[in-house]
C-alpha cells in the first residue's frame, strides 16, 4: 500500500516523464526522416527556377501521356518525357516573365484558327473556318464534360506555350546579326591558306604497354579537369540470372504431345466413366474446332501465298496436297504441325473503287453521321442501281462517300491480298471477277464496290496448324527456383563472383546505374532493382532475389558512388588514354635533339610529308588528321620558318611553312556577313535552350516522390 501511495503522489511526475519520452521518440523519428518536417518535400516532384512541380499535377500528366504513348512505352520513359516537358516549360516561363511577354486573347484566337483551319467540325457550309462553331464547341465541352474541357484548356496552354517560345526565339534572333568585320574575319579564316612540310611522330609508335599510369596520376588528372569528370550519384551491382528455359527433355515432351494428336486417341469421359475415341488431326474433317481445342494459337482461315509461310518450311508445306500434313517443326518459339485443308487460285493484288455510306454506330463514324443502318442500306442500293445503269456516274457520286482519302483518287483503292482490310471488303475484291459491282457491308458501313482490275491468280493454301508453345515444364521451373534459392543462401557467406564461377554460373557486373535508370543490361526493364540499389537501407554487399520475366536474378550491391567527381576507377576509361598521350609526348620530346625536318625524319626513321592549302576554318592536315593546334602554329610562322616541336592530337610534329597564300580581298563582305548571321541563327535553334537549362536552378526529386 505504501508503494501504491507513493505512485499516486507522483502521478503527475510520471505523466510528464512519459510525455517527454513519447515526444523524444517522435522527434527522433522526425530527425531520422527530415522530410517529415516538410510536406512540400513529399508532394513536390521538383523545383525549377523557384517553380514547384506538384506530385498530383505531375502524375496526372504522366497518366495522360501514358495513354497517348500506349503499352510500348514504360512508365519511367513516360515520366522522363513529362519531366523534360515540365523543365522546359518552367525554364521558358522564367524568360517570358522577365521579358513580360504573353499570348493575349486575340493571338490565341488566331492560333486556334490557323491550327484548326482544316477541321471539319469548325468549317461552315462554304468550307471556311467559323469562329462561332468553335465557340459553341468550347461552351458545349464546358457544360457537358469537365474532364474533356480540362483537356481543351491544356491544349490551349500548349498552343500558347509553343507560340511564346517561338516569339522568344524570334526576339533573340532579331538581336543577332553578322557585321561586315565579322564577315571579313570569316572570309579570311577560310581564304587564308598555307602549304607546309611536316614530320609527324605518331603516339601509336610507342606501345601502350610501355607507358604505365598510376592511380595518383589519374587522381591528379581528374582534379585538373573537374568539368570533364562530374558524375551523378550511381550504383554498381552484379547479378546471376536463373532462367526458366525449357530443357531438351521439355522440348521432347512437347513434341511427343503434338505428335500424339495426329492419330486417333482415347479420352476419358467423366459422364460415361469410359474412354471415348477422338478422331486424330490427320483424319478430322472439322479442322477449325480441332485446332481451337488443341492448339495454343487459334485457327486462321486466311488463304496464304508461299511468301507468307515460315521461310524454313515454306517449300515443304506449299508442295502438300489437300489433307496432307507436315511436321512437327519449330517456328518462332512453338512446335507445330500443319495440314493443308484447301487450295485456291487468288490474285496477289486488286484495284477497286468504292463509295462508303456509313451509319450511326459504325466504326470511325463522325458526329455528322445521322443515317440509321436501314437508311444507309437504302442509299447504297440506290447508288448501286444508278451506277449499274451508267458506270460513268460513279465518280460524280463520290460526294456521298465518307472515305475522303480514296475520294481524292476517284474512290480508287489498290491493295494486296496480304494487307489488312475489312474481311468482307477483301473477300469481295478477291473472290469475284474484274468488272463485278455490288453492295458490301463491313463494320465501317455499306460499300458500293467495283472491281477495276486484278493481278494474275496464284496458288494459295489454307492451313490448319496445331501449335504448342515451347516452355519449361513445372519440374524445370521448380529446379530453377531451388537453384536460385540455394545460390542466394550460399552467397550470404561466400564471395559472390567466386561462388558463381564455382557453380558454373555467370556473374554479370553492371556499373554506373543512375537513380532514374530502369534498364539492366541482359535482363531489360528492372526498375525494382534500381530502386533497391538506391534505397538508403541497402548496404554494400547486400544480396536480394528478384523475380524477372525470364525467372530470377540474384543481385548484389557492389558499390555506391556519391554525386561529384568520378572515382579513379570510373575515370580510368578516358583519363588513362589522355595521360598516356601526355607521357608519350614527353618521351618523344626528350629523345629529339635535332632542329630541322630532314634530321628529325632521319632520326625517327620516317619521311618528310607535305600538305597544301590548309586553312583555319577546317584545321585538317592531309595524312595526319584534324590538328587545330598544329594548324594554328602554322599560321603563326613566316614563310620558310620552321617550328619547334608541337604536341598535336595524334602525335608530336615539327612543321615548316613553305608558302603563304592570303585570302582574296573583296570589294564587299556582305555575303560573308550574311553567312555569319546564318550561323548565329542556327546556334540559337540548337543551343539556346540548352544554355538556359544549364544556367537554371533545377531540383529533381522524382526518385523520392513518384515511386
* Per-residue pLDDT, 137: 85
Averaged over 659-688, what is the pLDDT?
92
Query: Residue 22 has what pLDDT?
Result: 45
Calculate the average pLDDT of the chain.
89
Task: Say if residues 412 and 452 touch (Cβ distance below 8 Å).
Answer: yes
pLDDT at 38 over 90: no
> 3-class DSSP state for residue 312?
coil
Cβ atoms < 10 Å from Cβ of 566:
21
Residue 366 has a pLDDT of 76
111-142 pLDDT, tens per residue? Answer: 888 888 877 778 877 778 888 888 888 888 88
0.85 surpassed by pTM: no
| Residue 21 reports pLDDT greater than 70 | no
Indicate the burial class of 224 (C-beta count within 10 angstroms; 0-12, 13-18, 19 or more).
exposed
Tens digit of pLDDT for each residue in 343-375? 999 999 999 999 999 999 898 887 778 889 999
Is the pLDDT reported for residue 669 higher than 50? yes
CA distances from 296 to 75, 304, 425, 474 (A): 30, 20, 29, 18
Question: Are 380 and 478 contacting, i.e. CB atoms less than 8 angstroms apart?
Answer: no
Q: How would you write 392-461 as a 3-class SS string?
A: HHCHHHHHHCCCHHHHCCCCEEEEECCCCCCHHHHHHHHHCCCCCEEEEEECCEEEEEEEEEECCEEEEE
Nearest-CA neighbor of 298 among 345, 252, 334, 343?
A: 334
Range of lowest pLDDT (69-78, 380-389, 580-589): 69-78
pLDDT for the residue 41: 61
Does the pLDDT at position 704 exceed 90?
A: no
Residue 302 and residue 94: Cα distance in Å, rounded? 60
Q: What is the pLDDT of residues 193-237, one digit of tens each?
A: 999 999 999 999 999 999 999 999 999 999 999 999 998 999 999
Residue 4 has pLDDT above 70, yes or no: no
Rounded Cα gap, residues 643 and 597, in angstroms: 10
Q: Which comes out higher in pLDDT, residue 629 or 369?
A: 629
- Summarised one tens digit per residue, pLDDT across range 81-93 is 999 999 999 999 9
Least confident of 143-147, 357-361, 418-422, 673-677: 143-147
pLDDT category at 10 given cuts 50, 70, 90 is very low
> What's the pLDDT at 408?
86
Residue 141, pLDDT score: 83
DSSP reduced 3-state for 512: strand
- Residues 481 and 487: their CA atoms lie apart, in Å, by 10
Q: Which residue has the higher pLDDT, 246 or 28?
A: 246
Cα 78–79–83 angle (5° rounding)? 120
**Which residues are CB-neighbours of 379 under 8 A, at least 6 positions away?**
357, 371, 400, 446
Question: Distance (Å, rounded) from C-alpha 61 to C-alpha 54?
Answer: 11
Note the pLDDT tens digit of each residue in 291-326: 999 999 999 988 999 989 999 999 999 999 999 999
Q: Which of 101-105, 234-238, 313-317, 594-598 has the lowest mean pLDDT?
A: 101-105
Does pLDDT of 72 surpass 70?
Answer: yes
Strand order in the sheet with 551-561: 508-514, 234-243, 551-561, 543-548
Amino acid at each position: 500500500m505504501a508503494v501504491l501511495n507513493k505512485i499516486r503522489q507522483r502521478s503527475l511526475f510520471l505523466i510528464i516523464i512519459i510525455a517527454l519520452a513519447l515526444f523524444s521518440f517522435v522527434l527522433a523519428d522526425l530527425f531520422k526522416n527530415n522530410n517529415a518536417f516538410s510536406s512540400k518535400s513529399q508532394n513536390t516532384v521538383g523545383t525549377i527556377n523557384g517553380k514547384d512541380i506538384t506530385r498530383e499535377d505531375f502524375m496526372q500528366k504522366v497518366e495522360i501521356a501514358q495513354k497517348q504513348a500506349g503499352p510500348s512505352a514504360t512508365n519511367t520513359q513516360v515520366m522522363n518525357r513529362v519531366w523534360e516537358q515540365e523543365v522546359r516549360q518552367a525554364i521558358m516561363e522564367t524568360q517570358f516573365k522577365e521579358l513580360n511577354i504573353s499570348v493575349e486573347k486575340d493571338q490565341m484566337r488566331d492560333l486556334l484558327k490557323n491550327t484548326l483551319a482544316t477541321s471539319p467540325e469548325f468549317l461552315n457550309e462554304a468550307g471556311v473556318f467559323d469562329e462561332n462553331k468553335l465557340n459553341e464547341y468550347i461552351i458545349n465541352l464546358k457544360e457537358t464534360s469537365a474532364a474533356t474541357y480540362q483537356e481543351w484548356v491544356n491544349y490551349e496552354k500548349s498552343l500558347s506555350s509553343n507560340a511564346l517560345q517561338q516569339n522568344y526565339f524570334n526576339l533573340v534572333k532579331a538581336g543577332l546579326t553578322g557585321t561586315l568585320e565579322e564577315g571579313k574575319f570569316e572570309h579570311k579564316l577560310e581564304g587564308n591558306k598555307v602549304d607546309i612540310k611536316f614530320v609527324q611522330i605518331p603516339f601509336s609508335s610507342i606501345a601502350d604497354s610501355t607507358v604505365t599510369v598510376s592511380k595518383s596520376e589519374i587522381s591528379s588528372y581528374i582534379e585538373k579537369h573537374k568539368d570533364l569528370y562530374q558524375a551523378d550519384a550511381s550504383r554498381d551491382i552484379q547479378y546471376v540470372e536463373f532462367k526458366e528455359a525449357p530443357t531438351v527433355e521439355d522440348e521432347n515432351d512437347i513434341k511427343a504431345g503434338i505428335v500424339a494428336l495426329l492419330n486417333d486417341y482415347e479420352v476419358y469421359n467423366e459422364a460415361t466413366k469410359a474412354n471415348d475415341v477422338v478422331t486424330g488431326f490427320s483424319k478430322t474433317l472439322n479442322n477449325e474446332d480441332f485446332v481451337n481445342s488443341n492448339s495454343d494459337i487459334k485457327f486462321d482461315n486466311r488463304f496464304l501465298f508461299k511468301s507468307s509461310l515460315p521461310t524454313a518450311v515454306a517449300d515443304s508445306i506449299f508442295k502438300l496436297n489437300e489433307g496432307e500434313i507436315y511436321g512437327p517443326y519449330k517456328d518462332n518459339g512453338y512446335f507445330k504441325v500443319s495440314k493443308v485443308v484447301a487450295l485456291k487460285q487468288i490474285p496477289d493484288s486488286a484495284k477497286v473503287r468504292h463509295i462508303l455510306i456509313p451509319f450511326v454506330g459504325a466504326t470511325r463514324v463522325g458526329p455528322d453521321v445521322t443515317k440509321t443502318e436501314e437508311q444507309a442500306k437504302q442509299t447504297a442500293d440506290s447508288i448501286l442501281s444508278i451506277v449499274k445503269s451508267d458506270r460513268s456516274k460513279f465518280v460524280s457520286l463520290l460526294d456521298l462517300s465518307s472515305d475522303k482519302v480514296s475520294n481524292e483518287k476517284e474512290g480508287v483503292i489498290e491493295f494486296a491480298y496480304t494487307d489488312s482490310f475489312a474481311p468482307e471488303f477483301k473477300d469481295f475484291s478477291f473472290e469475284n471477277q474484274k468488272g463485278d459491282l455490288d453492295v458490301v457491308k463491313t463494320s465501317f458501313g455499306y460499300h458500293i464496290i467495283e472491281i477495276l482490275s486484278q493481278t494474275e491468280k496464284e496458288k494459295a493454301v489454307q492451313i490448319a496448324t496445331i501449335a504448342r508453345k515451347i516452355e519449361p515444364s513445372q519440374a524445370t521451373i521448380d529446379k530453377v527456383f531451388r537453384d536460385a534459392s540455394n545460390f542466394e543462401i550460399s552467397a550470404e557467406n561466400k564471395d559472390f563472383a567466386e561462388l558463381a564461377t564455382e557453380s558454373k554460373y555467370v556473374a554479370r557486373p553492371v556499373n554506373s546505374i543512375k537513380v532514374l535508370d530502369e534498364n539492366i543490361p541482359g535482363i531489360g526493364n528492372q526498375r525494382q532493382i534500381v530502386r533497391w540499389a538506391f534505397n538508403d537501407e541497402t548496404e554494400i554487399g547486400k544480396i536480394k532475389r528478384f523475380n524477372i520475366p525470364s525467372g530470377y536474378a540474384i543481385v548484389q550491391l557492389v558499390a555506391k558512388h556519391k554525386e561529384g567527381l568520378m572515382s579513379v576507377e570510373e575515370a580510368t576509361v578516358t583519363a588513362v588514354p589522355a595521360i598516356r598521350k601526355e607521357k608519350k609526348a614527353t618521351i618523344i620530346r626528350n629523345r629529339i635533339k635535332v632542329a630541322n625536318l630532314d634530321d628529325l625524319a632521319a632520326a625517327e626513321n620516317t619521311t618528310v610529308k607535305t600538305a597544301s592549302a590548309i586553312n583555319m576554318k577546317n584545321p585538317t592536315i592531309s595524312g595526319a588528321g584534324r590538328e587545330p593546334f598544329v594548324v594554328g602554329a602554322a599560321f603563326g610562322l613566316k614563310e620558310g620558318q620552321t617550328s619547334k616541336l608541337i604536341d598535336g592530337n595524334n602525335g608530336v610534329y615539327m612543321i615548316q611553312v613553305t608558302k603563304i597564300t592570303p585570302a582574296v580581298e573583296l570589294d564587299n563582305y556582305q555575303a560573308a556577313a550574311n553567312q555569319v548571321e546564318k550561323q548565329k541563327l542556327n546556334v540559337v535553334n540548337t543551343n539556346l535552350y540548352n544554355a538556359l537549362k544549364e544556367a537554371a536552378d533545377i531540383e529533381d526529386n522524382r526518385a523520392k516522390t513518384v515511386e
